Structure 1
């Protein structure tokens, strides 16, 4: 059913917006964290006698922070999320039209195609997360899930689990990186 496809596309776009906004938040938080630690280490090395290797490493780290901030700004997470939001809001109107009994599917199909061009497409993982989330939050008993036209497969559950696992491990590594660099520099200086 065409209306059902519109509904799933809309839900996937909502998930894409959430992903982009989460990426924007984490990127900004990482930049603040890196900048804070860079400043804290600089103050620490004003008091401590550090070798030139440590000083040069932290200067390079500060330049890396500057480069990363330019790169993150270039990704335009918030602007892209806003475009996706506009798209799924229009899809909501199109979905309502498609659900009507006297719907002109040709006209709605054209509107649908034009609306999809307003922004980037959602990623496969956005659709997979949407499937899993909708399945888990559906009001029917878990063994039946009546009313859903699509259900997550075992493959999709594994993909979503691996996505979240990779995301959390990557974020943990990124947050721990400057601390690890500091301890490596300190260990090197004491040996």
Structure 2
């Protein structure tokens, strides 16, 4: 087996491992963001409820009721997503992938059996774990050194930046949504 084939396998395992690390990080950040949003929306709803009671505003009371119901549904849904549990699974997987990387460093060119065992273990790890999303891989390429980035970055640059922009826009819209609802309820 050639050194190039071993290097390709090393790169493949490395990219999968780092993509799983990025997936874990993404899920932990997502969990934190949604926990913060739950608190933010709850506080916002309480403040709007107090204003609706003080001002005896029926439109505002209706908005508060709709926000409370929506908040309850969102909290139940997001808790069902189990972001932290999935992040832990990714961590287990990328730890095992790292072990394969270390094993592969100690394999010589002619040791076909060891290489095949590592390839088999790699396939089993892929099969036993939920796959990361494409954006996690795009982040891997973006963060990688020039050796790995060359030839890959050109093809995914737009997808990486587009993924970053729409994720930011969604978070921004989630943050300003209560204010937009408040403005719309006052205008209506």
TM-score range, shorter chain: 0.7 to 0.9
Q: 65, 79, 85: which is aligned to 1:79?
A: 85
Find 1:47's aligned residue among 54, 72, 80.
54
TM-score, normalised by the number of residues in structure 1? 0.86
1:13-41, Cα deviation, whole Å (9 max, x unpaired) = 11111111111111111111111100111
TM-aligned CA distance change 1:151 to 1:130, over 3 Å: farther
Which of 17, 24, 30 is equivalent to 1:17? Answer: 24
Aligned residue among 21, 24, 28 for 2:35 = 28
1:106 to 105, 111, 116: 116
Q: How many residues align?
A: 177
Is 2:10 the partner of 1:3? yes
Deviates more, 1:155-164 or 1:67-76: 155-164
CA–CA separation in structure 2 for the residues paired with 1:101 and 1:181: 61
Aligned partners of 1:84 and 1:2: how far apart in 2?
20
Cα deviation 1:104-127 (Å, max 9, x = unaligned): 012112211222233210111111
CA 1:76–1:150: 2 relative to 1, 3 Å = farther
Unaligned 5+ segments in structure 1 are 139-144
Q: Which range moves more in the overlay, 60-69 or 98-107?
A: 98-107
Question: Which residue number in structure 2 is paired with residue 177 of structure 1?
Answer: 177
What TM-score do the two structures reach when normalised by structure 2?
Answer: 0.87
Q: Name the residue aligned to 2:5.
A: none
Q: State the shift of 1:172 in Å.
A: 0.7
Runs of at least 5 residues in structure 2 that lack an aligned partner in the other structure: 1-7
1:169 aligns to what SS in structure 2? helix
Structure with bigger helix share is 2
